[in-house]
């Protein structure tokens, strides 16, 4: 259903925001505390129990450190991400392609300052054939045989988008790591509308989205690393907070195999348990959003499930052994 004459959608998001680093903050590009480069993929399936066509969000991304031997106490990060989302019966689809760059500079021996920028192309398409409009409502039902006066001028739109961000990292010893960042999406105020003109009282300019996060890593023993973290974003009148922690457990003794368990909370919306596994250089994580809001009476608590896989790697000249990790590791 489309209320009035507006068709809007929320920004794409993942509960595992920490496994979508480049779009959480472009300053994360090339900020890889325990590797030289990495590749990742994410998949989210949302509201499958209350919608005939659930929201499906997919992404692939990658980044790498460059010029590490040419810049004193610093380096550049280069990366990119592709996202695709399909939402609802109208098959509202979103495709986003971003390229990002960041600069990282050591400050003393235990701090790192990072700034980053990304720019990308966004495409949105909608299938109006499955939509129902207010002038088709007869008081009880929507009659799709009644012609609607609503005309979607542009069912296929494109625009450019920009984001900027910065991070600060503190790692005083091999057992302690703290990282915090802030970024702004839609910095250029792109226009997003399927209509040529704005309906009265509405604006099709995308509001800036502000994102802040903080996370830590604390090695409590040779077997356990604790990772508390929190994420907050606000855009116009909508906001989201996700906070929690995960624990890494060293299964093999050398860090080659790890079990990860965690619990996160999106207050007023969902509790998010997490389970993960690390095998050599491959990290896999699975989360499930258990609905706690009033929507629970309709979906029986079945909100969304999400999967992420990350494959870090090392340049041949380092051979995986000479790379100094900035964060606590079982391999140190």
Residue 181 Cα to chain centre, angstroms: 14
Using CA atoms, how far apart are residues 69 and 134, in angstroms rounded to an integer? 62
pLDDT score, position 86:
87
9 pLDDT more than 90: no
Picking from 39-43, 254-258, 275-279, which range would have the lowest pLDDT averaged per residue? 254-258
> How high is the pLDDT of residue 323?
52
Task: Determine the Cα–Cα distance for residues 95 and 123; give it in Å rounded to an integer.
Answer: 5
Tell me the domains of the chain and their CATH numbers.
17-313 (2.40.160.40)
Q: Is the pLDDT of residue 138 over 80?
A: no
Both structure tokens of 328: 């606590």
How far apart CA 205 and CA 188 sit, in angstroms, is 10
pLDDT for 194: 84
How many alpha carbons lie under 13 Å from residue 11 in its C-beta half-sphere? 23
- Mean pLDDT across the chain, nearest whole number? 87
Three-state secondary structure call for residue 297: helix
Average pLDDT over residues 169-189: 96
Residues contacting 329, CB < 8 A, separation 6+: 34, 219, 225, 255
- Tens digit of pLDDT for each residue in 24-49? 999 999 999 888 999 999 999 986 66
Tokens of 189: 């105020």
269-292 in b/e form (b: 16+ CB < 10 A) is bbbbebebebeeeebebbbbbbbb
**pLDDT for 187:** 95
Cα angle, residue 145 at apex, residues 139 and 151 outer, rounded to 5°? 90
């Amino acid at each position: 259903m489309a209320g009035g004459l507006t068709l809007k959608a929320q920004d794409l998001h993942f509960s595992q925001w920490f496994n979508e680093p480049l779009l959480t903050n472009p300053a994360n590009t090339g900020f890889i505390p325990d590797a030289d480069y990495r590749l990742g993929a994410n998949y989210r399936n949302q509201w499958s129990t209350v919608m005939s066509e659930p929201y499906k969000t997919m992404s692939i991304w990658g980044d790498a450190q460059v010029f590490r031997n040419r810049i004193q106490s610093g380096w550049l990060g280069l990366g990119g991400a592709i996202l695709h989302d399909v939402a609802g019966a109208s098959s509202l689809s979103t495709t986003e392609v971003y390229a990002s760059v960041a600069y990282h500079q050591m400050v003393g021996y235990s701090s790192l300052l990072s700034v980053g920028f990304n720019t990308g192309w966004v495409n949105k398409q909608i299938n109006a054939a499955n939509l129902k409009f207010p002038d088709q409502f007869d008081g009880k039902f929507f009659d799709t045989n009644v012609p609607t006066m609503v005309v979607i001028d542009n069912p296929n739109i494109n625009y450019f988008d920009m984001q900027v961000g910065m991070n600060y990292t503190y790692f005083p010893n091999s057992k302690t790591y703290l990282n915090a960042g802030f970024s702004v999406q839609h910095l250029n105020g792109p226009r997003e509308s399927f209509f040529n003109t704005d309906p009265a009282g509405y604006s099709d300019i995308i509001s800036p989205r502000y994102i802040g996060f903080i996370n830590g890593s604390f090695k409590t023993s040779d077997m356990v690393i604790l990772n508390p973290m929190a994420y907050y974003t606000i855009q116009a009148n909508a906001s989201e907070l996700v906070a929690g922690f995960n624990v890494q457990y060293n299964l093999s003794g050398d860090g080659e195999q790890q079990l990860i368990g965690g619990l996160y909370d999106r207050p007023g919306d969902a509790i998010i348990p997490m389970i993960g596994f690390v095998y050599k250089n491959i990290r896999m994580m699975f989360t499930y959003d258990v609905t706690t809001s009033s929507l629970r009476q309709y979906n029986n608590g079945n909100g969304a499930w999400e999967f992420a896989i990350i494959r870090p790697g090392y340049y041949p000249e380092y051979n995986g052994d000479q790379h100094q990790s900035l964060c606590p590791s079982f391999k140190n």
